[in-house]
Amino acid sequence: MKINFSDIILFENDDFLLVNKPPHLATLDERTADRGGSVLRLAREYHPDLQAAHRLDKETSGVLAFAKHPEAYRHLSMQFEHREVTKRYHAVTNGIHDLDSISVYLPILPLKNGTAVKIDKVNGKIAETIFNTLKVYRGYTLVECIPITGRMHQIRIHLSCLNAPIVNDPQYGGKPIYLSSIKRKFNLKKETEEQPLIQRVALHAFALSFALMDGEPIRIEAPYPKDFDVLVKQLDKFGV
């Protein structure tokens, strides 16, 4: 996967750089041996002083913010810490759900292996996410997710708690989505196996709102990447 870094830039000034992170690319270099680079590595080839202000899961696409110098990093970090940054994600979930400012407030505990989390009301850390239904399809829902805290896999497990797991997220109960499940007339060529419409957890970081160094508020939106766009367009076409 060859990425031209300047093609994924959404916003740039003297202090910050925001990109539309492609799916299947880690935010930071992974601890294990090099597994195909990271957004940070690409970013530093573009501007050597960039620091990631937050991170997205490897499979998750969307808005990712970098700071160009220590003051900018501190400025944005404090906003994250004080929960003054608004993150809006879009997810396609299994099932039909009518969510209107539904808040899930359940504590999250990372599992020992570090690759998943569970709800733990005794030992978990406070976690809150607000959910809104954007569009309902036959058997699926497009949901806006606004995490108030920033725990690992927070949106994924909180949606699972609403019995609305994200499409293609087997870790938390999400099932793949096939064109045959939404298209009434569907013919698969003989001896071919149908592929899911999206090959990753169907989660996209759609928008990020924060204050620039001079206090001016800004909201940056990331267009859907190709796989998420195809999924939503197929649902719009066949799933209503």
Q: Which residue is associated with the tokens 């870790």? A: 171
Give, in order, the Cα–Cα distances in Å from 10 to each of 143, 163, 207, 221, 239.
Answer: 23, 34, 11, 8, 31
Say which of 15, 29, 34, 57 is annotated catalytic. 57
Name the phi and psi angles at 72, rounded to 5: -65, -40
Question: Half-sphere exposure of residue 138, counting CA atoms within 13 Å on the CB side?
Answer: 14
Adjacent-strand bridge partners of 145? 89, 131
Q: Tell me the three state secondary structure of residue 7.
A: helix
Residues 144-156 as b or e (16 or more Cβ within 10 Å = b) = bbbbbeebbbbbb
Q: Does the annotation mark 29 as catalytic? A: no
CB-based contact 139:181 (threshold 8 Å): yes
Question: Which residues are catalytically annotated?
Answer: 57
